[in-house]
Amino acid sequence: MSWPHKDLLDVSQLSRDDVAVVMKTAASFREINARPVKKVPTLKGRSVVLFFAEPSTRTKTSFDMAGKRLSADTFALTKSGSSLVKGESLKDTVLTLLAMNPDAIVIRHGESGAAAFVAERVSCAVINAGDGRHAHPTQALLDAFTLLEKWGTLADKTVCILGDIAHSRVARSNVILLSMLGANVRLCGPRTLLPPSVDGWGVEVHSDLKKAVAGAHAVMCLRLQLERQQAGLLPDLREYAGRFCLSSATLTGADPDVKVLHPGPINRGIEISSELADAGQSLILDQVASGVAVRMALLHLFITRKDRGDKE
């Protein structure tokens, strides 16, 4: 099998065949995560740098766990623990890391395009774990994997993405990937939290929650990214929750077997009710479990590509 990519910067670079390879590989690694001893020697002797210049629980931990379960050595670096806080440039930090000869760098950064900036300057694989508002490809892949595990296909399924679309890299990557896989994607949020370019995204756009979820097979809530917002985009959190908090009551018009997702972290009672977040139809913890399997697949594909003689 040939894997043609050096880096993963966004899902837009992947073909449907590429996505199928990731899904198939993730399914094979999912079995490892169910074993009493959750470790294989696939990446023994390889090293992965986890360079997270923004806070993360799920993504960072699942990449760390994914690497360790494949027997790779993982090394975590945060902004507060790096020379970035001393004024060192991103370029010099990355070149320093490269001199240590890692096999992959997983990077999260607050600036859009940071992952591409790094990828252009290093010879090892670079995997984007979220850059500014631009992209979060591994989240989109694990979301698709989670839904495919339940449905087998996304063709003719309607998925509503709800919340702070304007500041969400998760929404952008999911619109691309879910649409590619045949889903009908809808976006819903207050007009102040929809990007100006959203009408050109090729998806349905709503500011009425009931209309947005009508007949939907899945609803993906997004976190309100208050740290990225300017003042005035929301009157107050209570008003937002009153109009856009997902609950059993606001889901009454959705498909009877509707699934609920959230990339986390969750603000309960604001983006989603506690009752619904913990309900049987919630796939939130399934997403977390999927994240380990998908990230195992990605580390395997990107690190071992040269072993198989793949070309740039």
Between CA 194 and CA 165 the distance in angstroms is 5
Distant-in-sequence, close-in-space partners of 226: CB < 8 Å, separation ≥ 6: none
User: Binding residue per annotation — 172?
Assistant: no
Output the CA angle 57-58-64, nearest 5 degrees.
Answer: 90
86 labeled binding residue: yes
Q: Does residue 191 have a known ligand-binding role?
A: no
Whether a cis peptide bond, with omega within 30° of 0, leads into 102 is: no
Closest CA relative to residue 8, chosen from 299, 289, 291, 287: 299
DSSP state of 256: T
How far is the C-alpha of 134 from the C-alpha of 195, rounded, in Å?
12
Q: 265 labelled as ligand-binding? A: yes
59 assigned binding-site residue: yes
Q: Which whole-number Å values give the CA distances from 61 to 103, 175, 201, in the listed order?
A: 19, 25, 32
Residue 38 marked ligand-binding: no
Q: Is 130 annotated as a binding residue?
A: no
Residue list, annotated binding site for L-aspartate: 86, 169, 223
Residue list, annotated binding site: 58-59, 86, 108, 136, 139, 169, 223, 264-265
Residue list, annotated binding site for carbamoyl phosphate: 58-59, 108, 136, 139, 264-265
